[in-house]
Structure 1
Amino acid sequence: MPSQAKAFAAQSATTPLAPFSFERRDPLPTDVAIDIAYCGVCHSDLHTARGEWHGTVFPCVPGHEIVGRVTAIGDEVTKFAVGDVVGVGCMVDSCGTCPSCTDGEEQYCTTTGFVGTYNGRDRHSGGHTLGGYSDKIVVDQHFVLKIAHAEPDLAAVAPLLCAGITTYSPLKHWGAGPGRKVGVVGLGGLGHMGVKIAAAMGAHVVAFTTSPSKIDDAKTLGAHEVVVSRNPDEMAAHAGSFDMILNTVAAAHDLDAFTSLLKRDGPLVLVGVPEHPHPSPNVGNLIFQRRAIAGSLIGGIAETQEMLDFCAEHGLTADIEMIPIQQIEAAYDRMVKSDVKYRFVIDMASLAG
Structure 2
Amino acid sequence: MPTPTNAYAATAPDAPMAPFSFERRDPQASDVAIDILYCGVCHSDLHTAKGEWEGTLYPCVPGHEIVGRVVAVGDAVTRFKVGDIAGVGCMVGSCGHCPSCDDGEEQYCETTGFVGTYNGPDTVMGGHTFGGYSDHIVVDEGFVLKVTHDEGDLAAVAPLLCAGITTYSPLRHWKVGPGQKVGIVGLGGLGHMGVKIAAAMGAEVYVFSTSPGKRDDAIRLGAKDLIVSKDADAMATHANSFDFILNTVAAAHDLDQFLALLKRDGTMTLVGVPETPHPSPSVGNLVFRRRALAGSLIGGIAETQEMLDFCKEHGLTSDIEMIAIQDIETAYDRMVKSDVKYRFVIDMQSLKAA
- TM-score, normalised via structure 1 length: 1.00
**Structure 1: distance between partners of 2:140 and 2:175:** 31
Alignment of 1:155-234 (within 5 A): 155-234=155-234
Q: Give the equivalent residue in structure 2 for 1:153.
A: 153
What value does the CA root-mean-square deviation take over the aligned residues?
0.4
Residue 267 of structure 2 aligns with an amino acid whose one-letter code is P
Q: Deviations over 1:39-77 (max 9, x none)?
A: 000000000000000000000000000000000000000
Residue 307 of structure 1 aligns with an amino acid whose one-letter code is M
**Structure 1: distance between partners of 2:79 and 2:96:** 18
- Give the superposition deviation at 1:190: 0.1
Q: Give the equivalent residue in structure 2 for 1:98.
A: 98
Q: Deviations over 1:196-253 (max 9, x none)?
A: 0000000010111100100001000000121011111110010000011000000000
Matched, 1:34 2:34: yes
Q: Deviations over 1:289-327 (max 9, x none)?
A: 111110000000000000000000000000000000000
Q: Deviations over 1:319-342 (max 9, x none)?
A: 000000000000000000000000
Structure 2 gap ranges (5+): none
Q: Deviations over 1:18-48 (max 9, x none)?
A: 0000000000000000000000000000000
**Structure 2: distance between partners of 1:217 and 1:108:** 34
**Cα pair 2:47 2:53 within 8 Å, conserved:** yes
Residue 349 of structure 1 aligns with an amino acid whose one-letter code is Q
Residue 219 of structure 2 aligns with an amino acid whose one-letter code is K
**Structure 2: distance between partners of 1:65 and 1:302:** 16
**Structure 2: distance between partners of 1:188 and 1:268:** 18
Q: Give the equivalent residue in structure 2 for 1:300.
A: 300
Q: Deviations over 1:70-128 (max 9, x none)?
A: 00000000010000000000000000000000100000000000000000011112210
Matched, 1:260 2:260: yes
Matched, 1:62 2:62: yes
Residue 82 of structure 1 aligns with an amino acid whose one-letter code is V
Q: Give the equivalent residue in structure 2 for 1:352.
A: 352
Q: Give the equivalent residue in structure 2 for 1:121.
A: 121
**Cα pair 2:4 2:24 within 8 Å, conserved:** yes
**Structure 2: distance between partners of 1:279 and 1:342:** 28
Q: Give the equivalent residue in structure 2 for 1:322.
A: 322
**Structure 2: distance between partners of 1:141 and 1:235:** 47
Matched, 1:244 2:244: yes
Q: Give the equivalent residue in structure 1 for 2:137.
A: 137
- What percent identity do the matched residue pairs reach? 76
Residue 100 of structure 1 aligns with an amino acid whose one-letter code is S
Residue 317 of structure 1 aligns with an amino acid whose one-letter code is T
Q: Give the equivalent residue in structure 1 for 2:20.
A: 20
Residue 71 of structure 1 aligns with an amino acid whose one-letter code is V
**Structure 2: distance between partners of 1:132 and 1:126:** 18
**Structure 2: distance between partners of 1:297 and 1:37:** 26
**Structure 1: distance between partners of 2:35 and 2:61:** 16
**Cα pair 2:3 2:23 within 8 Å, conserved:** yes
Residue 196 of structure 2 aligns with an amino acid whose one-letter code is K
Q: Give the equivalent residue in structure 2 for 1:291.
A: 291
**Structure 2: distance between partners of 1:148 and 1:13:** 37
**Structure 2: distance between partners of 1:150 and 1:209:** 33
- Give the superposition deviation at 1:135: 0.1
**Structure 2: distance between partners of 1:217 and 1:230:** 19
Residue 311 of structure 2 aligns with an amino acid whose one-letter code is C
**Structure 1: distance between partners of 2:233 and 2:149:** 42
**Cα pair 2:212 2:226 within 8 Å, conserved:** no
| Structure 1 SS opposite 2:242 | coil
Residue 28 of structure 2 aligns with an amino acid whose one-letter code is L
**Structure 2: distance between partners of 1:203 and 1:213:** 23
**Structure 2: distance between partners of 1:80 and 1:194:** 29
- TM-score, normalised via structure 2 length: 0.99
| Structure 2 SS opposite 1:22 | strand
